[in-house]
């Protein structure tokens, strides 16, 4: 078997960010409009703070303006909803991202449903999800699933007619990714299956049928080599911390795939970190520019 191809998500994401930066500059020169994204962060979750800060940095690099509203953890649900309404109504802002998770007293579904579909660059609003499910109308696809499809396309990995198995049924990755794989277009047209832990002992039987296997269950090293067909393309969406006494931090990052062993069977595989993760932010920028273009025409 030829040497396994390691898919460099960092390189592909950098290409997309460069393209967005050039297109953003042209958009601003043509219409005098600077794409703008607003972030809302509630509480003091260190990981969320890092995510939002990194998103702000990449937005600036793309030529966008941005603003982050940092709210205390005891912010009421209604106060957060009022802020979302004000951003919805602000014609200068084109994208809105509320960083999850939220404090337990705030219902995430209420926040998601209130975000304007036109500014929902994360693609979580039910209207965007519904339009994605039927493949019609203007919508934003969630950034991580869209990033997986874009990454495979740019790597020249054939998707049409292949059996894509996604292990994970979340509304953030598993379900929308299956819909994107199944769409009839030049980037997709695959036969998509959603698998999950409910399959029990049959899970390996299902995953071994995959030409393209996507792990998105949030379980460290759960996809082992015996679950993968020889020559499959393996995409690891997971990002987990596990203890590692050899590291100064006391932990290391791993995906949902047993990378070292699975790469011996895969024809192509994404690493963790450096695979799908960078694609998520790149697609967020792409969605924000698209939102600005659509709002200009509306």
Q: Out of 99, 119, 120, 211, which one is annotated catalytic?
A: 99
Q: Is the peptide bond before 50 cis (omega within 30 degrees of 0)?
A: no
Exposed/middle/buried for 70, CB within 10 Å: 0-12, 13-18, 19+? Answer: middle
Find out whether 17 and 58 touch, Cβ atoms under 8 Å. Answer: yes
Q: Out of 23, 120, 122, 211, which one is annotated catalytic?
A: 122
Find out whether 146 and 233 touch, Cβ atoms under 8 Å. Answer: no
What is d(CA 167, CA 170) in angstroms, rounded to the nearest whole number?
A: 10
For 18-141, strand residue ranges (E) read 36-42, 65-71, 95-98
CA torsion 98-71-273-179 (nearest 10°) is -10
Find out whether 263 and 222 touch, Cβ atoms under 8 Å. Answer: no
Sign, CA dihedral 288-122-271-149, equals negative
99 in catalytic set: yes
55 in catalytic set: yes
Spatial CA neighbour of 144 closest among 124, 119, 117: 124
CA torsion 252-255-51-122 (nearest 10°) is -170
Task: Report the b/e string of 158-169 with b at 16+ CB within 10 A.
Answer: ebeebbbbbbbb
String of DSSP letters for 162-208: -EEEEE---TTTHHHHHHHHHSSSTT---EEEEE-GGGGGGHHHHHT
Tokens representing residue 292 in the block: 């600005």
What is d(CA 162, CA 153) in angstroms, rounded to the nearest whole number?
A: 13
DSSP at 157? -
Q: Out of 55, 119, 175, 286, which one is annotated catalytic?
A: 55
Q: Annotated catalytic sites, by residue?
A: 55, 99, 122
């Amino acid at each position: 078997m030829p040497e396994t191809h390691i898919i460099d998500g960092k390189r592909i994401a950098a290409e997309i960010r460069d393209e967005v930066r050039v297109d953003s500059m042209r958009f601003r020169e043509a219409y005098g409009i600077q794409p703008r994204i607003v972030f809302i962060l509630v509480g003091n979750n260190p990981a969320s703070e890092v995510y939002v800060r990194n998103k702000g940095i990449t937005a600036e690099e793309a030529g966008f303006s941005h603003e982050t509203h940092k709210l205390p953890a005891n912010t009421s649900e209604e106060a957060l909803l009022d802020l979302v309404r004000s951003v919805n109504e602000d014609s200068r802002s084109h994208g809105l991202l509320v960083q999850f998770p939220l404090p337990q007293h705030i219902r995430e579904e209420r926040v998601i449903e209130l975000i304007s579909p036109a500014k929902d660059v994360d693609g979580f609003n039910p209207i965007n999800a519904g339009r994605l499910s039927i493949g019609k109308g203007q919508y934003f696809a969630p950034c991580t699933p869209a990033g997986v499809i874009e990454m495979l396309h740019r790597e020249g990995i054939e998707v049409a007619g292949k059996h894509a198995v996604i292990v994970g049924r979340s509304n953030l990755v598993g379900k929308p990714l299956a819909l994107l794989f199944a769409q009839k277009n030049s980037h997709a047209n695959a036969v998509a299956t959603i698998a999950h832990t409910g399959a029990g002992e049959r899970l390996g039987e299902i995953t071994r049928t995959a030409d393209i296997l996507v792990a998105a269950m949030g379980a460290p090293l759960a996809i082992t080599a015996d679950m993968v067909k020889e020559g499959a393309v393996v995409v690891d969406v997971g990002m987990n911390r596990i203890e590692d006494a050899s590291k100064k931090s006391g932990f290391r990052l791993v995906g949902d795939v047993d990378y070292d062993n699975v790469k011996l069977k895969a024809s192509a595989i994404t690493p963790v970190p450096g695979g799908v993760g960078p694609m998520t932010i790149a697609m967020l920028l792409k969605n924000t520019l698209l939102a600005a273009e659509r709002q200009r025409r509306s």
